[in-house]
Amino acid sequence: MTHPVSRRTALKQLGAGTVLATSMSLLHASDAAPAPARKGRVKQSVCKWCFKDIPLEEFCAAAAAMGLQSVELLGPKEFPVLKKYGLTCALVSNPNTKAGEVSVGGITKAWNRLEYHDALVAAYEVRLKETAEAGMPTLIVFSGNRDGMSDEQGLENCVIGLKRIVPLAEKLGVTLVMELLNSRVNHKDYMCDRTPWGVELCKRIGSDRFKLLYDIYHMQIMEGDVIATIRQNHQYFGHYHTAGVPGRNDLDETQELFYPAIMRAIVETGYQGFVGQEFIPRGKDTAAALAALKHGVQVCDV
């Protein structure tokens, strides 16, 4: 297991620069006591988009100082900043491209439509190479919305398209993960919205380099039974995301999931990948947002 960057290392990397000084001041503004020793059995990451108001460099300095190993859902342009702070990008963002006049590659328009495949294959071949060259492990994909299409037809179409890029992923050693998202609250009509559909997709593709992103928040909304699902299907899960339910906010006592038990269940499966914090902090100023992240990291350190 790669050891997280220590506070001392992060300080050395930035020297006397003001970015880290500001981040450390904000991170500990409401908590002057030293952080407890980390158990480190769960490799933790954080999604930058949830903390969009904090500049990337400042955020990376704070993330490294609190023991995170990754800032994710970023692209190649951001990789140099991550590496400056000893961080990886555990989950690389999807490329966006055009199929004719249609923007494709994101959540709503993606692999379940045959007419998008040529554009998606070309874009993903480039992003896969960029991901591998930077030493990043995992790249996200989406199913797309149903838009009247049956789940079975969408499944068949996803298999056809994804099998065109899986051989390159295998060659490069990059894992593609399709995200499971809820279609009840956040992503109406999204097709890959239940674990059985995603697992069937994995089975039909039949590659260790294609798995699911099991988003705990989204699947609690759609299915519940999170721990049992993890135990039964962990071999198909290549990445995990967290957030509080309801609301997608902090991992605190106001939400219904007990994350320490969920994290222990993940560890017990032998999972060696990353768990990404993907909650939107209630506190909107930088100090409050970073304090919420620090708390979430501690909650998931089992």
> What mean pLDDT is predicted for residues 128-136?
98
pLDDT, tens only, 215-227: 999 999 999 999 9
Residue 59 has pLDDT above 70, yes or no: yes
Residue 7 has pLDDT above 80, yes or no: no
> What mean pLDDT is predicted for residues 43-64?
98
What is the per-residue pLDDT for 37? 74
Average pLDDT, the chain: 91
- The H-assigned helical ranges of 181-272 are 195-205, 216-222, 226-233, 259-268
CB neighbour list of residue 13: distance below 8 Å, 6 or more residues apart: 5, 64, 84, 85, 86
Banded model confidence at residue 14, pLDDT cuts 50, 70, 90: very low
d(CA 139, CA 281): 25
% of the chain with per-residue pLDDT over 70: 88
> What mean pLDDT is predicted for residues 134-159?
98
Looking at 3.50.50.60, 3.40.190.10, 1.10.3720.10, 3.20.20.150, the CATH number of the domain 7-299 comes to: 3.20.20.150
- Residues facing residue 140 across a β-bridge: 177
Backbone angle region of 105, left / alpha / beta, with phi > 0 → left and psi within -120 to 50 → alpha? left
What is the per-residue pLDDT for 141? 98
Q: Whole-model pTM?
A: 0.89
**Residue 250: which H helix or E strand, with range?**
none
Q: Closest Cα partner for 269 from 299, 240, 298?
A: 240
d(CA 197, CA 180): 9
What is the per-residue pLDDT for 187? 98
Q: Tell me if residue 47 falls in helix, strand or coil.
A: strand
Residues labelled catalytic: 179, 278
What is the per-residue pLDDT for 36? 61
Residue 121 in tokens = 């294959």
